Amino acid sequence: MANKLSFEEKYDVIVRRDTTYAGIFFVGVKTTGIFCRPGCTARTPKAKNVSFYDTSHEAIVNGFRPCKVCRPLDELGATPDYIQKILDELEAHPYRRLKDWDLRQRGVEPSQIRRWFKKHHNMTFQAYQRLYRINGAFTKISNGESITHTAYDIGFESISGFNDSFKSTFDHSPSQEKGKTVIHLVRFTTPIGPMFGGATATGVCLTEFTDRPMLETEFKDLKKRLNAVILPGENDHLQQLQQELAEYFEGKRKLFTVPLHTPGSAFSQSVWQLLQTIPFGSTRTYKEQAEKLGKPKAIRAVGRANGLNKIAILIPCHRVLGSNGELVGYGGGMGRKKWLLDHERKHSLGT
């Protein structure tokens, strides 16, 4: 296993503002007396003026106070209370349409919620609401309700407006909706960054950190392979996923039981199934994985299949190392890979 990051490597992380190391270590700035997360957008301090700490507690003990920009004591990637209240309202009344005036009546500035949704969901709040309503429409039509009744029931003022919104989401009209799969998508927080979870009626098909560079590509691949549309919303599998991941990060869970839905080639399927046999707290090399598959020369192919895994942590590709035991190749970022391995090693020993 690779040693801990050097001072130079950590400083390079904060210069690049690499959010994949958020929660992995903290940065104390001697000239200001504050400490930050690695991805903080505040002005980058000079190397001679920083100290690094593994925990926020260590930074506080050494006399640093939390940064007001990145707020390192807050839950990483947490949804602000004022936005969570709005989301709870939409969940209770999915067909309610909240306009700027409605938001102001609730003490929420529309520009604030717009910026938050654009940053964390890559869409405006109004687009999120529209998708949430379309999600309900899909369910109603799938259950046999008429298009006209559904359109007016969920708040559209005309059939043509409903048809246009439906078609822009599903790439076809409501009358052609049969056969489409819905992937429900939720955003949730973890100690090492926010994640997206996606699930069909069959099982979980996606768990990824929200800053993964290939996330859009994964969404497109899932939609193509499953003839699906991705919409915000919950289902039983996603609720179980969040519960089991919370227990994992608390060190209370070593095995996952939530059903999975993993479309892919036969070879990729075999690689992903083998990944799930690597015990909690253990690692293997790509070479060992290839040998266990009976394909000792397929090391690179195994590596590519690992990279195509869309269900991080549950299908534990972070437990695979390079030939010399070095940390290589993790879509969530090398800092997170090391954190996950250290976390599992610690809890496998019962410490």
Q: Residue 176 pLDDT more than 60?
A: no
pLDDT category of residue 1 using cuts at 50, 70 and 90: very low
What number is the average pLDDT over the span 288-314? 92
Q: What is the CATH number of the domain that holds 283?
A: 1.10.10.10
Least confident of 92-96, 106-110, 260-264, 283-287: 92-96
Name the catalytic one among 36, 40, 205, 317.
Answer: 317
Check residue 177 and report its DSSP letter.
Answer: -
Least confident of 67-71, 325-329, 336-340: 325-329
Pairwise pLDDT comparison (213 vs 32), residue with the higher score: 32
Rounded Cα–Cα distance for residues 119 and 97 (Å): 21
Contact (CB, 8 A) for 195 and 187:
yes
What number is the average pLDDT over the span 45-73? 90
Per-residue pLDDT at 27: 95
C-alpha 233 chain-centroid distance: 14
Co-location of 171 and 243 in the same domain: no
36 flagged as catalytic: no
Co-location of 150 and 228 in the same domain: no
Q: What is the CATH number of the domain that holds 116?
A: 1.10.10.60
Q: Which helix (H) or strand (E) holds 20?
A: none
In a domain, 328, yes or no: yes
Per-residue pLDDT at 351: 46
Q: Is 329 left (phi over 0), alpha (psi -120 to 50) or beta?
A: left
Co-location of 28 and 129 in the same domain: no
Co-location of 97 and 25 in the same domain: no
Q: Residue 288 pLDDT more than 90?
A: yes
Determine the structural domain holding residue 326 and report its residue range: 182-351
Per-residue pLDDT at 264: 92
In a domain, 1, yes or no: no
Q: What is the mean pLDDT of the chain?
A: 85
What residue has token string 């190392």?
321
pLDDT category of residue 281 using cuts at 50, 70 and 90: very high
Helix 81-92 vs helix 110-121: angle between axes, to the nearest 10 degrees? 80
Q: What is the pLDDT of residues 48-59, one digit of tens each?
A: 999 999 888 889
Q: What is the pLDDT of residues 106-136, one digit of tens each?
A: 888 888 898 888 877 777 888 888 777 776 6
What number is the average pLDDT over the span 303-317? 94
Co-location of 210 and 333 in the same domain: yes
| Model confidence, pTM | 0.75
pLDDT category of residue 229 using cuts at 50, 70 and 90: confident
Pairwise pLDDT comparison (61 vs 27), residue with the higher score: 27
Rounded Cα–Cα distance for residues 162 and 148 (Å): 9
Per-residue pLDDT at 312: 95
What total of structural domains would you count in the chain?
3
Pairwise pLDDT comparison (165 vs 327), residue with the higher score: 327
Co-location of 216 and 308 in the same domain: yes
